[in-house]
Each structure stands twice: as C-alpha cells, then as structure tokens.
Amino acid sequence: MRHTIGQQIIIGLQGLTLSKDEAKFIVDNNIGGVILFKRNVESPEQVRNLCAEIQALRHRMPNKAPLFISIDMEGGRVHRLKAPFTQWPALAHVGKLDSTSVAFRFAQAMGDELRAVGINLDYAPSIDIFNNPQNTVIGDRALSTKADIVAKLGSALVRGYIKSDIIPCAKHFPGHGHTLVDSHYGLPVEEKTLAELDAEELEPFKKVIRARLDLIMIAHIMFPKIDPTWPASLSEIFIKDILRGQLRYRQLVISDDLDMGALKNNWDKGTIATRALQAGNNILLYCNEPDSPGIALDAVEKAVKDGSLPKAVVEENAQLVLDLKANRLKNPDPLPMEEASKVIAHPDHLRLAKAIVAGEVPADLLAQAT
C-alpha cells in the first residue's frame, strides 16, 4: 500500500544534486515525482544531469514508471531557470497582445527548453483573472483583467505546452485573482458565491478543460458561502461537486503545496494529507519541508487501515497517475547535452521573448503556431 500511496506524491529536493537519502526515499516509497526550484538550478548542464539522475531511479522502482519532474515556470516573477535559458516575460505581456498565436508559441518555445533538459511537467499556465488591482500575489502573473481573454489565451497556452510534450497544469482553481492574503503565509477568505465564481473565475477553467488539459491545481482559498468548513484544496464541494460535477472535468487534480501557511497554520500535516485525498485530490504536492512527505505517507497508510480513507480511492489515484505517465511520458529522459544546447536560448526564443515585451511579434516567429 505504501508504494501505491507514494505514486501520488511529488516532493521537493534540497540541492543541486540528488542526495543518497533523497534517492533512497524516492525508490523505497515509489514516489511519483519531484519539483525543482531555484535552489536546484545552477546551469543547463547541471539541471539536465540532475533530471537524468532522477529519471534513472525508475529502473529501481516497482512500476518502472517515469517520474514527474516538475517546475513552476510561468515567465516573469515565477521563473526558476536562470540565463542562459531564455528569460520569458510575465503573462501580462502576452495578454496585452491578445493573440492566441503568440500565446501558443510562447508556451511551445518555453516547453521545448524544459523538455530538452528533462523537465516534463510545468505548473502553468496561471489562469487566474486579475480582478482585484490590490492583489500583489497574482498581479502580472495573470493574462488579463477580463475572463474571456484569460480563457482564450489560457487555452492557447495549454495547447502550446502540449505541443512541446510538456504536461501543463492550469492553476489556481477556482481562481486566485481576487485574493489579498498570500496563501504561502495565511488562509485567504473570499465572500464570493458560487454564482459569482461561475460568472467570472470559472470561465477560463471551462475553456482550458476543453483543450485536452491533464492536470488542474487547487488553491488554498476559503469560500465560506460555498463551503464553510474547508478551503477549496480540501473541499469535496469544490473538487467533486463543482470541478468534476458542474464543469465535468475528468482528468487529474493536484493540490497546491500542502506545506503552505494557509493549511499548516490551521491543521496538522497528517490531517492535511488524508483530507486532501478524501476531498478528491489525486496528487499531493510537497515543496520545501523534507519531513512532510514521510508524515503524509504514514498518515495516509493509517487512514487506509482504519477505513477513514477507502483503499479503492488510493488505488484508483495511483492508476490514474500511471495512466497519465504512460500516455504522456513516453520519452522521459533528457536530450544529450549537445542537442539540448541547440534548443536552450534558441535565437528564435530570445527574439520572441523580446518581441512580446515590445508588444509586436514578427509573423515569422509564429510560423509554428497552429
């Protein structure tokens, strides 16, 4: 059972190389994947070698399934890969151009560089609507203040990532654009009704779901008029009733980082892990605290044994993860460095990034956009 649970967990790493303890934990517990941050990035060759080392672990694991190697790469402020990787602008610049071709090409080019070094899952695009000008957490991470533009361009971004063989993850359901509290530190509380969310925040999600999206990230936001007990990330109402029932989303759901202050300031780590699965999350994300994945494994294993979490739920989640990997991670290893170097900071990518900021993209840079 522990191996089944482990496939549903993505963990952070501490440094530029994979430690023996990290490798042992991943293999022993059949961990589903990792997330990379700036602390894990020094150069293209180092990232490529780290990804190759992580991906090689699959040969020692029960399912022999590829690992998710994930990252937060939106462009702008949320940009883990430093130069010489192309430095992509914030999505607000893409939004100003209001071009699906530009959005598609932006995501495809970014995705090509990620895949070259072995990254296969990007927690992007952010399809939050910037509908509160005081919201510094989202700000220029949003495509627009208008739901229809976010929906249209968000869908194009999803298609661009898929074209580059990256698994995109639309976030932060049901919408982080109106919040003032940063969920890294506290729990945002929004007084919106479901009707209000449906009229605005949910529009982009409806659109990207139709773009063959495989993954949606759930936000740590409290909506007391919709669920007075749980934030969206731990809420059956939001995940099962709204996302799966009302929006008819059939693919995978991942939590935002379960160690964020929004949750850990209010519940213990074991409760958070088991509740996240009870609520309908398929994958649990742990970014920064090395002890948390082990605590989660113990808590979920105990919950299955005592019957508070049905064994069938855990088994189904693991199978969904394995199915996604089988469908989307057919060539999980990074390119040889010589080939990867030709993709990273390709002249067309550099021109595209610069042109988006300037507000005018030449037609030849969009030739691959469909």
3-state secondary structure the chain: CHHHHHCCEEEECCCCCCCHHHHHHHHHHCCCEEEECHHHCCCHHHHHHHHHHHHHHHHHCCCCCCCEEEECEEECCEECCCCCCCCCCCHHHHHHHCCHHHHHHHHHHHHHHHHHHCCCEECCCECCCCCCCCCCCCHHHCCCCCHHHHHHHHHHHHHHHHHCCCEECEEEECCCCCCCCCCCCCCCECCCCHHHHHHCCHHHHHHHHCCCCCEEEECCCECCCCCCCCCHHHCHHHHHHHHHHHCCCCCEEEECCCCCHHHHCCCCHHHHHHHHHHHCCCEEEECCCCCHHHHHHHHHHHHHHHCCCCHHHHHHHHHHHHHHHHHHCCCCCCCCHHHHHHHCCCHHHHHHHHHHHHCCCCHHHHCCCC
Domain ranges of the chain: 2-363
At 131 the pLDDT is: 84
Fold classification of 2-363 is: TIM Barrel (3.20.20)
pLDDT digits (tens, 9 = 90+) for 106-156: 999 999 999 999 999 999 999 999 987 777 778 899 999 999 999 999 999
pLDDT digits (tens, 9 = 90+) for 233-289: 999 999 999 999 999 999 999 999 999 988 988 899 999 999 999 999 999 999 999
184 is catalytic: yes
At 139 the pLDDT is: 85
At 100 the pLDDT is: 96
227 is catalytic: no
From 256, 257, 259, 349, the catalytic residue = 256
Question: In the chain, which stretches have pLDDT less than 50?
Answer: 369-370
From 98, 182, 184, 298, the catalytic residue = 184
At 92 the pLDDT is: 96
At 177 the pLDDT is: 67
